Amino acid sequence: MGCANHPIRNKKRDAVHRGQLQSLSRKRDLRTSSLSKVQPWCKSVLNLDLSSSMTCTPSYRLLPIKYMRQASTLHPLRAAVLNDHWVCVPSDHQNFHLGRNKKSTYEKKLQDCEEDCCELDVLLESTRAAIRRMEVLFQRLSTGGDISLVDTYLTVLDWRCCNGITDECGANLEYTVRRDPSATLPLVIEKLKSKQEKLLAAQEGLFKSMKEAFLKEGASEVRVDTKCDSL
């Protein structure tokens, strides 16, 4: 039997290799922990305190100059184009709050209303865009346009807006429109306009609730903040 295949020597060699790997792993862990303690820019972005950093928008903050950037080794042309200095931070993260961390009842209500408003705005705009494209498509088909224009005018977002407006599911409705668009488009447009009216009514009710919340609780907080600023 050759020396390379000797079982005792193989076990000793494996034990030496394991010891070397464990030693290297311990050294790497110690070096990483020491860097994190001495150099705060080696931490993760989520662990940085950016409350006093310069702001570009309410969501973007400037990273520290010494912070180690992932894209620091890019080609100069790419580095000039890519954003490597500003980071988008969540507004609810504890390190990124300005002032008090705990939100008041008014702030919570206002945030919920703003999120609902944003969602309604997106739904309204997508519904309006779908109605416009379907009306133009129906006019083209009425003047002798080919049925293949359906794929030219209607997008995935348009089909998504049609979900729930009829008893048919989205796939069946899309199949029906593609098979006979001249007969089905007027019905779909009518249903979409009804959906638009419901969204507008919901938006109006949301604006009303926002106004009531501001009149009840917001005015008092504005007065308190004004007094604090004048001190």
pLDDT, one tens digit per residue, over 89-114 is: 765 544 444 444 566 777 777 777 77
Cα 150 to Cα 146: distance, rounded to the nearest angstrom: 9
Q: What is the pLDDT of residue 224?
A: 43
**200-224 mean pLDDT:** 74
pLDDT band at 127; cut points 50, 70, 90: very high
Same domain, 64 and 137: no
| CB-CB contact of 157 with 130 (8 Å) | yes
**116-135 mean pLDDT:** 89
pLDDT band at 196; cut points 50, 70, 90: very high
Which has the minimum average pLDDT: 46-60, 88-102, 116-130? 88-102
| CB-CB contact of 89 with 96 (8 Å) | yes
Cα 114 to Cα 117: distance, rounded to the nearest angstrom: 5
Same domain, 143 and 207: yes
pLDDT band at 56; cut points 50, 70, 90: confident
Q: Pick the residue with more confidence: 37 or 12?
A: 12
Find the largest Cα–Cα distance for the chain. 92
Q: What is the pLDDT of residue 12?
A: 61
3-state secondary structure of 22: helix
Give the range with max mean pLDDT: 74-88, 101-115, 184-198, 216-230: 184-198
Locate tokens 């969540």: which residue? 90
Domain assignment present for residue 138? The answer is yes
Same domain, 145 and 197: yes
Total structural domains within the chain? 2
Cα 93 to Cα 97: distance, rounded to the nearest angstrom: 7
Domain assignment present for residue 32? The answer is no
Q: What is the pLDDT of residue 210?
A: 79
Name the burial class of residue 189, with classes exposed (0-12), middle (13-18) and buried (19+) by CB atoms within 10 angstroms of its CB: middle
Same domain, 189 and 134: yes
**140-163 mean pLDDT:** 85
Same domain, 46 and 130: no
Asked whether the predicted pLDDT for residue 179 surpasses 80, the reply is yes
Q: What is the pLDDT of residue 135?
A: 93
**171-190 mean pLDDT:** 86
Cα 112 to Cα 103: distance, rounded to the nearest angstrom: 12
Nearest residue to 62 via CA among 80, 37, 78, 41: 41
Q: What is the pLDDT of residue 42?
A: 53
Q: Which two tokens stand for residue 188?
A: 């779909």
**39-52 mean pLDDT:** 65
Q: Identify the DSSP state of 95.
A: G
In the chain, what percentage of residues exceed pLDDT 70? 57
Provide the domain limits for residue 88. Answer: 42-96
Q: What is the pLDDT of residue 97?
A: 45
Q: Which residues contact 123 (CB under 8 A, 6 or more apart)?
A: 199
Cα 47 to Cα 32: distance, rounded to the nearest angstrom: 15
Q: Which two tokens stand for residue 102?
A: 């705990």
Q: Pick the residue with more confidence: 67 or 118?
A: 118
Same domain, 152 and 203: yes
